[in-house]
Structure 1
Amino acid sequence: MDNNRKPESKQKKPLLGNVEFKARAKKAGRISALIAKSTLWYPLKVLLLVLCKLLAWTVEIFLTVILVVIITGVVVCCAFSLYIQNYIDPNYEGLDNLKFDSDLNTTMYYVDDSGNEVLLPDDTLHGSENRLWVDYKDIPQNLIDAVICIEDKRFYEHKGVDIKRTVGAILNFFLPGGGQYGGSTLTQQLIKNASGDNETTIQRKVQEIFRALNVETKYSKTQIIEMYLNIVYLSQNSNGVQAAADAYFGKDVSELSLVECAAIASIPKYPTYYDPLRNPDNNLKRRNLILKEMLAQEAISQEEFDAAYNVPLYLSQNRKNDTSSSESNIHSYYIDAVIDDVIAEFIERYGIDKTTASRKVYSGGLTIITNLDPVIQSAMEEVFCDDSCFPETSGIKPQAAMVVSDADGNIRGIVGGRGEKLISRGLNRATMSKRQCGSSIKPLSIYALALEKGLITYGSALNDTPTEFNEKEKTYWPGNTPAGFNGLVSTVFAVQKSLNTTAVRLAQQIGVNECFEFLTTKLGFTTLVESKSYGGTVKTDIAVSPMALGSFTEGVTVREVTQGYTMFINDGAVAKGKTFSMVRDSNGAILIDNRESEETQAISEQNAFIMTQILKSVISSPTGTGYSAFSTYRTFDKDVEVGGKTGSTNDDRDRYFVGLTPDYVAAVWFGYDSNKSLSKMSYNPATRLWIEVMNRVYGKMKTNGKSYQRTFVQPYDIVKVEYCTLSGALATDACRHDIETYLGGKSKVEVGYFTRENAPRDYCTTHVMVKWDKATQAICLDGCACPSASLVDVAFRKIEPRVFRTNLYVADSQYTYIDPSLLPRNYLMPSSPNVPFFWNYYDEQTWPGRTYGATTPYNRVCSEHYNKLPDDENSAVNEGLE
């Protein structure tokens, strides 16, 4: 037995032989091939491959998006941080001295003709008029709860900003149809009320949010609600709940009932709309809503709710019987403007907030020297309270406003509304309302600037034809009011008739950017819009319509229009309009000295005088837009020179008149607060109001023996020159024989005012003498056999051929003349007696213009006596009339 032999179980299996291995491999290959080719494995393999690639692509995109989001977030955060650092001031110190302890009276004075300061006893300002501070412990809990429940129900939970309401406000702002959604907390409202910053910009809102967060770290909730309730505006010239309690209920705030608390809490959202005196129904609806909120938030019981819901208010006895006596001392529109101006000046000069400035004015014991002229102010108020000075209307009466200034910018009188004034510091249409002034802007933005730039002179001839053609509607722009065009006109006539076409042409020549710059930097206009988005539409006043026609984005104020016109009586210089000259503190120290204000030289002294002479013609010439009203209503001294400019808008919603005498400039606006059309009024009521006021002002000055200037002072270097109104050049004999003048029209030769430098030196070449048959009333051209007894020498107006796309009415068309040398060789004269001799110069798609009502124009060829001459190369114009 072999001991070295291993048991069988432990022995290795013998290796396959080559033949057997190959057989088995071959069999396995066949099986694999069959599986690979089967209908189950192949699609599965493809699907798995696609899924793998799709998954990889998805993961790649997801990671890319995540990366982009992270990078964008970092960039946005960095940008926002930089924005906050550079543009947002999170600190607000305006609440530190809000509780102003002084309760001294502020007195108002005017300066009489002898230079003495005269007290205005009815215009003393008392701290009680503006605000009475009340401590938190004296404010009824119902009033505190009412305000919190309706204005900021999470007041005690947030840290100055209510995230939920803020996000809701943001979403509502961006989502279409979202409307308005208030996101401001009481803390934010406190900051807005204290600072007086009501600008609706994202930057202000962001700054307000950061300031609110900061304020909440400095003040307790009790302090915040106390400050808010003491400064919030509650209509009826009442700032704070103590003043409101007295104004509406004649009682101390601590004595208010639940329904009275709800009534006061209703007002802050829209003070005038929810004023219980002016709009009791609106106040009732909102205070009922407040009571519901108080009940829902468990601030009151069901029994308290039932006792107060829908309950009428019992206002203080004097107010209930006579709402016109809503204030014990109602200040004039002028004093309202003084208060606003002094507050604004304190803010600008001392860097304080609006609330502190306001309290200083009312309670700081100041002495304010106003620029008021009581004679002028009383005359204005007398006229504006006299319905006979206004056109008769049914329904709601149209409103009006007026500002009177002297040459130095001292505002002497302001009226901001028609009829008896019922409240202090309400709407002042003269200083606050932005309305369209229409053509009243033209002397400022166009003609004065064009004079200064040397583009026109007093005598320049302008082209009264439209500039733009609308291919789709087949109409021209701009049009004039009344409709129609005049052709060649003088600058004086263009201003007299308030022509739109000439103003547009000059605006395009000057450049609208320069016009805008002139109004804003030289004349001090602040209401013009450089660029602003309205519901996604960007609008600007740097355009032809605003600059040339006064069609502004938002409008202008009467005050700034008045200020602009003062340059014409102030040697071309403009000073900011001032309602006061000085403010002194209770010890007599001068806080604000407004007596010497910096002037801006807008135009030269000579051009200012030339403009006054042009504006005089608006009143004195029968063709002027102000002639009729002055001829009818003027009663004051006829020796006082007056210039002026009317204004109206295309949609006829505003009427303007700005007039000037050697001593004063005054502007008047007339229209509806609702912007309703004035189309049924055939005349300009603003012009009459101006005249009625000046009738009284100059009448009283004459009665009182006060001297006044009667004529505009002519500066040096002004010369008077006889010129042709249709060329601006020196007049010739031909100008005196103008065809229109020959037929009874106005002379085309006038005397104008020029500087020595720009006075005309060349003679007129526009007027061309021609033979004219007075019997046939047609031009006798070469080839006409007109009887010599019928021929007269008259002048027609040689112009460059006008080419219109429609057959426009242009008044001077029948007086125009085209040099025959411009006509084609072998030109064929028209056979119709109803067209000018150069009619065939135009093709079927163009026209030279026509005179309205002129069936046989004066510039037709005398067909009655025209004889065709033999062909002559040098006499192409003689080629036959057939």
Structure 2
Amino acid sequence: MANKDYDDLLESFMNNSQKAYNDDRETRKKNGGKLPSAYNTFSNTDSGKKSKTGYSTSANSNKNNGGKKGRHNNSAGQKVLEGFGKVLLGIILVIGVVGIICSSVLFVYGYSVVHGDVVFNLEDEASTQNQTSFIYGYDNNNKLVEITRLHGEENRIWLDKNDMSKYMSKAFIAIEDERFEKHHGVDWKRTIGVMVKPSNSGQGGSTITQQLIKNLTDENDVTFIRKFNEILSALNLEKHYSKDEIMEAYLNTIYLSHGCYGVKTAAETYFGKEVKDLNIAECACIASITQFPTKYDPLINPENNRQRQLRVLKKMLEKGFISQQEYDEAVAYKMVFTNSPDYKGSQIKKSASEKKQAEKVNSYYTDYVIDQVINDLQNSGYSAKKAKKLIYGGGLKIYSAIDFDVQNAIEDVYENYRKMPDETVQGACVIMDYHGRILGMVGGTGKKKANRVLNRAWQSKRQPGSVIKPLAVYGPALEKTLQDGETNVYWSTPTKDAPLTKINGKPWPTNEGGSYSGETITVQKGLALSKNTISARTLDKIGTTYSYEFLTNKFHISTLTVQDCDLAPLATGSMTYGVTVLEMTAAYQAFGNGGYYYEGYSYYKIEDAQGNVILEKNPEKDKEVALSENTAWVMNKMLQTVMTEGTGRSYKIDGVECIGKTGTTTGSNDRWFFGGTPEYIGGVWYGYDKNKEVIYRLSANPSGTLWNTIMKEIYEKKGKNIKEFPECDGIVRKQYSSNGLLRSGTGRWGWFDVNNLPKTASNDYLSDYDSSYSNRNTTAGTKRKEEYTEDDSDDDSIDNTEISDDVIDEPSDDEVGENTDEN
């Protein structure tokens, strides 16, 4: 029927319908509202009486109130049902429309993925496992020097399928994906079977192609979205690659326990053979590992592997991959693994250079470069697995920031130092410049025997003791004084050498041996002599929250917990977990560069195999202000007094200005020293992996001695190019009174921020000592020297003394909220 005829018919029907309705209404009016006889009606009656037509016809019931009420209730109920029905219908329509839209979107998305460009480039995957990565350094002439080559650290080498035993792929197909040759990436029969019958989940629904996708993405979370994307990617892969190419990629990326990725390294690890030389039984053994690698590892659980190997062989026989005779021979074959008594050694021939590279032990610095690169690749979007694949086979060129002279000096001391108390004592050292460059690093004592071992320089957290004070107390205190008028902490601020409070009736804190003089000394002297009482009282003035936020946000100490926001952890270094040498050394940079924090870096840039820069460090762009410039240089002056008149004076380098800070924890379990010259800042930790008292009789602090020895060796090789820290116009040297106020003629000198000076003392503020100073200058100087000597226990002149006055007594376990077990 033509469209016009259909429209005419519809219009005629509508007009006639309207006319019939109008005629009917007029007729009803003429009949007093009675319905025509052609209409059938139901009446609501209690009698249940019916007419001849079979319907109830009680006229009286329509006249009584009960009948009216019945009709009214019935009408209300119908309206509720009609309303509910409309709502339900609306919901169903909305769900239907949304479902149609979502289904359409999913269909379009799925179609675009399946029929779009290749999701994974298998050629690129192969190339990223076959190319050697290099780590370089620059010598003193800025000439590039190769440090090491990285290849196969994770046991992954790509092998062409033609170089494999023909039984290898058959073994995997038999146990993992029987219909591999027939499906197009997804075995719908298996997938639906697992969904319909949960008991089938043990056999899995993923095909070899889908497993390859998981191997390439490193995604194993069980979600609908991941599974959906995996299916689409598998279908896409099958449209772009042949079955042989997919199988080759799968056999080179499957994880086979013992750090083996791919069948080549698995064949070497378990049998000492090339893949092409494996027999049927050995191929079935390797294929058996896949489902639960550790459980079916033939070196760890040979019985479990044997049971699954027999299942693989049975499947191979059933599928016609091997004959009955081959099956019988494979079952009877005696398995000889690389850890078996009958093992005769590896059959794989390697060149001399390959053997040498395999046996090479990298330095702690090189290990750290590898770890930092992997971490930075992950931060830039790579998965952990991808990052490791890239560094061990992606052909990267990594340009490290190592200073060979500095690294050699540290290694020489830590490997050959003859004055260690025993063989189990450990240590770590980091030397940096003042712009984030890590020049050298060692993470243990003695000769390094393996790659990627524990690096105590950045992986071990130890209680910091008093070395935390400049970062948590004195630096923040000077900065807060600059920021608000209620805090007044200066070089000259008088502070009582006495406990701040009592805990369970005991005074807290005390200095070494539970002592305190009760005298009033300056903040500078409290820092120089490492007095716990002074740091606690100074911390109390600025608040623990301010100190904690300074440590975490300004100095980027990442190992703290909320429990460390307390007096004892911040004033004396009794942290929950502790700190690392690397993070602390990076934080101390601010005391020698004008207040800047630079994140430590061990490489300049990384290039991929094509020469493109994929990562590059830009320290000047990324630096942050930790302290104001003037505060930083006042702190520098204060830390210089540690080396000239305080606990670090035995470790100063002659002819060079030095800053420093000693640290000791309760029981002498940890000994620390952080020291800097105008060119270098270094941190040293010394102790045992398991807490044990450090006994070192050659000096008060072995870490200070090691720092001094290392720095001397560095300067012997490189010379003293800069002997003084730069002068800052924003700080000034002034005299002050015993009240801490500025006053000339007292003979007490200190450094102050020109923008934040203490008040000037009037004659009324002068003590008798200050007013008579000019008459007894010599006597007073002698007296102060004597007072200092009595308080200083880090003096090497004290015979056979290994204690330090920056140790505090350990409180009882019930001293909640006042952790003072470390200093």
Give TM class, smaller chain: 0.5 to 0.7
1:567 aligned onto 2:593 = no
Q: Which amino acid aligns with 1:370?
A: S
> Is residue 105–residue 124 contact of structure 1 (8 Å, CA) maintained in 2?
yes
1:458 aligned onto 2:481 = no
Aligned length: 601
Match of 2:630, SS state, is helix
Match of 1:458, SS state, is coil
Change (3 A) 1:416 1:308: closer
Q: Deviations over 1:343-387 (max 9, x none)?
A: 3333333x2223333333343433332211111011111111114
* Inter-partner Cα distance in structure 1 for 2:472 and 2:300: 48
* Inter-partner Cα distance in structure 1 for 2:634 and 2:532: 21
Which one of 498, 502, 511 corresponds to residue 469 of structure 1?
502
Match of 1:618, SS state, is helix
Which one of 418, 422, 435 corresponds to residue 392 of structure 1?
422
* Inter-partner Cα distance in structure 2 for 1:264 and 1:417: 41
Q: Deviations over 1:528-579 (max 9, x none)?
A: 335xxxxxxxxx3333333333333333222111110111111111121111
Q: What do you get for the CA RMSD once the two structures are aligned? A: 5.3
Counterpart position of 1:358: 388
Q: Which amino acid aligns with 2:686?
A: F
Counterpart position of 1:753: 751
* Inter-partner Cα distance in structure 1 for 2:336 and 2:536: 67
> Is residue 272–residue 338 contact of structure 2 (8 Å, CA) maintained in 1?
no
Tell me by how many angstroms 1:720 deviates.
1.4
Match of 2:605, SS state, is strand
Counterpart position of 1:729: 741
Counterpart position of 2:80: none
Counterpart position of 1:518: 550
Which one of 595, 601, 609 corresponds to residue 625 of structure 2?
601
Name structure 1 gaps, 5 residues minimum.
Answer: 1-90, 150-155, 167-185, 198-204, 275-282, 531-539, 737-748, 771-791, 798-809, 813-882
Q: Write out aligned runs for 1:89-238 (5 A).
A: 99-102=125-128, 103-113=130-140, 116=142, 118-126=143-151, 131-134=156-159, 138=164, 211=226, 215=230, 218-219=233-234, 230=253
* Inter-partner Cα distance in structure 1 for 2:365 and 2:472: 28
Counterpart position of 1:414: 441
Tell me by how many angstroms 1:214 deviates.
5.5
1:436 aligned onto 2:463 = yes
Match of 1:489, SS state, is strand
Counterpart position of 1:697: 714
Match of 1:418, SS state, is coil
> Is residue 565–residue 665 contact of structure 1 (8 Å, CA) maintained in 2?
yes
Which one of 560, 573, 576 corresponds to residue 528 of structure 1?
560
> Is residue 523–residue 574 contact of structure 1 (8 Å, CA) maintained in 2?
yes
* Inter-partner Cα distance in structure 1 for 2:223 and 2:538: 45
* Inter-partner Cα distance in structure 1 for 2:512 and 2:387: 47
Counterpart position of 2:104: none
> Is residue 214–residue 230 contact of structure 2 (8 Å, CA) maintained in 1?
no
* Inter-partner Cα distance in structure 2 for 1:130 and 1:310: 18
Tell me by how many angstroms 1:755 deviates.
1.9
1:311 aligned onto 2:360 = no
Match of 1:327, SS state, is helix
* Inter-partner Cα distance in structure 2 for 1:191 and 1:659: 52
Counterpart position of 1:664: 680
Q: Deviations over 1:242-290 (max 9, x none)?
A: 446557876435657989998999999999xx9xxxxxxxx99833464
> Is residue 405–residue 413 contact of structure 1 (8 Å, CA) maintained in 2?
yes
Match of 2:512, SS state, is coil
* Inter-partner Cα distance in structure 2 for 1:267 and 1:689: 50
1:711 aligned onto 2:740 = no
> Is residue 438–residue 601 contact of structure 2 (8 Å, CA) maintained in 1?
yes
1:654 aligned onto 2:654 = no
Which one of 555, 561, 567 corresponds to residue 544 of structure 1?
567
Which one of 475, 482, 503 corresponds to residue 448 of structure 1?
475
Change (3 A) 1:716 1:207: farther
> Is residue 444–residue 519 contact of structure 1 (8 Å, CA) maintained in 2?
yes
Change (3 A) 1:755 1:353: same
Q: Deviations over 1:8-50 (max 9, x none)?
A: xxxxxxxxxxxxxxxxxxxxxxxxxxxxxxxxxxxxxxxxxxx
Counterpart position of 1:478: 509
Tell me by how many angstroms 1:714 deviates.
1.8
* Inter-partner Cα distance in structure 2 for 1:112 and 1:344: 26
1:504 aligned onto 2:536 = yes
Match of 2:125, SS state, is coil
Tell me by how many angstroms 1:501 deviates.
3.1
Counterpart position of 1:688: 705
Which one of 362, 387, 391 corresponds to residue 331 of structure 1?
362
Going by fraction, where is helix more abundant, 1 or 2?
2
> Is residue 735–residue 744 contact of structure 2 (8 Å, CA) maintained in 1?
no
* Inter-partner Cα distance in structure 2 for 1:467 and 1:189: 64
Q: Deviations over 1:784-830 (max 9, x none)?
A: xxxxxxxx999x99xxxxxxxxxxxx999xxxxxxxxxxxxxxxxxx
* Inter-partner Cα distance in structure 1 for 2:215 and 2:445: 30
Which one of 380, 387, 408 corresponds to residue 410 of structure 2?
380
Tell me by how many angstroms 1:109 deviates.
3.3
TM-score (norm 2): 0.61
Tell me by how many angstroms 1:196 deviates.
8.4
Change (3 A) 1:363 1:639: same
Tell me by how many angstroms 1:241 deviates.
5.8
> Is residue 660–residue 675 contact of structure 2 (8 Å, CA) maintained in 1?
yes
Match of 2:127, SS state, is coil
Match of 2:663, SS state, is strand
> Is residue 379–residue 696 contact of structure 1 (8 Å, CA) maintained in 2?
yes
> Is residue 127–residue 394 contact of structure 2 (8 Å, CA) maintained in 1?
no
Q: Which amino acid aligns with 1:573?
A: Y
* Inter-partner Cα distance in structure 1 for 2:271 and 2:338: 18
> Is residue 433–residue 557 contact of structure 1 (8 Å, CA) maintained in 2?
yes
* Inter-partner Cα distance in structure 1 for 2:463 and 2:780: 49
Q: Deviations over 1:116-143 (max 9, x none)?
A: 3x22224233467763134789489899
Which one of 252, 257, 274 corresponds to residue 274 of structure 2?
252
Tell me by how many angstroms 1:449 deviates.
0.9
Tell me by how many angstroms 1:399 deviates.
2.0
Q: Which amino acid aligns with 1:555?
A: G
* Inter-partner Cα distance in structure 2 for 1:268 and 1:767: 84
Point out which structure has higher relative CO (alpha carbons under 8 A, 6+ apart).
Answer: 2
1:371 aligned onto 2:401 = yes
Counterpart position of 1:345: 376
Which one of 692, 717, 721 corresponds to residue 677 of structure 1?
692
* Inter-partner Cα distance in structure 2 for 1:266 and 1:710: 63
* Inter-partner Cα distance in structure 2 for 1:543 and 1:437: 15
* Inter-partner Cα distance in structure 2 for 1:264 and 1:505: 67
* Inter-partner Cα distance in structure 1 for 2:464 and 2:286: 40
> Is residue 433–residue 681 contact of structure 2 (8 Å, CA) maintained in 1?
yes
Which one of 630, 639, 642 corresponds to residue 655 of structure 2?
639
Q: Which amino acid aligns with 1:597?
A: K
Change (3 A) 1:750 1:409: same
Q: Which amino acid aligns with 1:365?
A: G
Match of 2:467, SS state, is helix
* Inter-partner Cα distance in structure 2 for 1:262 and 1:758: 76
Q: Deviations over 1:197-218 (max 9, x none)?
A: 9xxxxxxx97789747854775
